Amino acid sequence: MATLLVFISALAGTVLLGSTLGPAQTLPPGSLATVVKEAKWQKRVLLLCAPTPNDSELRQQKQLLGPVKADLNSRDLLVREVIWSQLPAADQRYLSRELGVGSSTFQVVLIGKDGGVKRRETQALPPAQLFSTIDAMPMRRQEMKRPR
């Protein structure tokens, strides 16, 4: 299995998952709120939030997503690993106030292209369940009808 490449953004305090989950992308400058805002109408965002980088649910989630990178890409999914202990205070406030993410437990948060939270789980989310949630969205149904 290819080694997971991790690129850390000092500005946003988030971690971008590289080769195992898809091609490396440049993290937009600014806060986590900026990342989510800039993705609006362009990408769905999957936040893998954990208190520490060694969280067992986080490790399991990354293992589950690794083999399905083509499916993630086909659904315009931007995956971000968010480690609470490494976030600036502004990003912690955004996660807590705007997205309802706490500091003490693992959470998977799916944000739709419209910017709304579509699914939230406190355990690793199997790809089939993630994809069924996305594929049921009206915008995704329209995308599936169009040739790529």
- In DSSP notation, 62-81 reads HHHHGGGHHHHHHTTEEEEE
The CATH number for 140's domain is 3.40.30.10
pLDDT: which is higher, 107 or 14: 107
Question: Is 118 contained in some domain?
Answer: yes
Taking the CB of residue 141, how many other CB atoms lie within 10 A of it?
A: 10
Domain holding 25, by residue range, is: 6-145
Question: Is 1 contained in some domain?
Answer: no
What pLDDT is attached to residue 37?
Answer: 94
Question: Is 104 contained in some domain?
Answer: yes
Query: CA-CA distance, 109 to 120, in Å (whole number)?
Result: 5
What pLDDT is attached to residue 63?
Answer: 97
Question: Is 128 contained in some domain?
Answer: yes
Count how many domains the chain has. Answer: 1
What pLDDT is attached to residue 119?
Answer: 97
